[in-house]
């Protein structure tokens, strides 16, 4: 079930987007996008919910991938980029 989260974060990292997550059962929230704290709320009172931890043998499902990528694009606009549009600065974590 956590494999889906690992795949998503690894693929985003390949294109220069680092997200940090935290969990408060059953919610999984996005904490930061490239070191910028996410302040919006989605399907919860305390943060932007990316997914819910499943019960027993159910499969993890993302809340809304379309809205997730809208949020990521919104936060990427807040980041300085080089002439080719790639993110630059300490927020890359690398």
Q: How many CA atoms, within 13 angstroms, populate the side-chain half-sphere of residue 78? A: 13
Q: Burial-class residue 2 by CB neighbours within 10 Å (0-12, 13-18, 19+).
A: exposed
Instruction: Specify which residues 19 forms β-bridges with.
Output: 33
- Per-residue pLDDT band for 79 (boundaries 50, 70, 90) equals low
Q: pLDDT for 35-74, tens place per residue? A: 889 988 888 878 889 998 887 777 888 888 899 999 998 9
Please check the confidence at residue 88 and state whether its pLDDT lies above 70: no
Q: pLDDT for 6-34, tens place per residue? A: 999 999 999 889 999 998 888 899 999 98
Number of domains in the chain: 1
**Closest Cα to residue 47, out of 62, 32, 67?**
32
Look at residue 1 and give its three-state secondary structure. Answer: coil
Range of the domain at 59: 2-92
Prediction pTM value? 0.72
């Amino acid at each position: 079930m956590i494999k889906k989260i690992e795949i998503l974060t690894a693929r985003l990292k390949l294109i220069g987007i680092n997200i940090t997550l935290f969990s408060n059962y059953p919610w999984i929230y996005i904490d930061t996008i490239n070191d910028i704290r996410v302040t919006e709320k989605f399907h919860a009172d305390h943060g932007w919910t990316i997914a819910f931890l499943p019960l027993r043998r159910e499969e993890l499902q993302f809340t809304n991938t379309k809205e997730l990528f809208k949020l990521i694009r919104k936060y990427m606009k807040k980041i300085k980029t080089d002439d080719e549009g790639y993110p630059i600065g300490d927020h890359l974590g690398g």
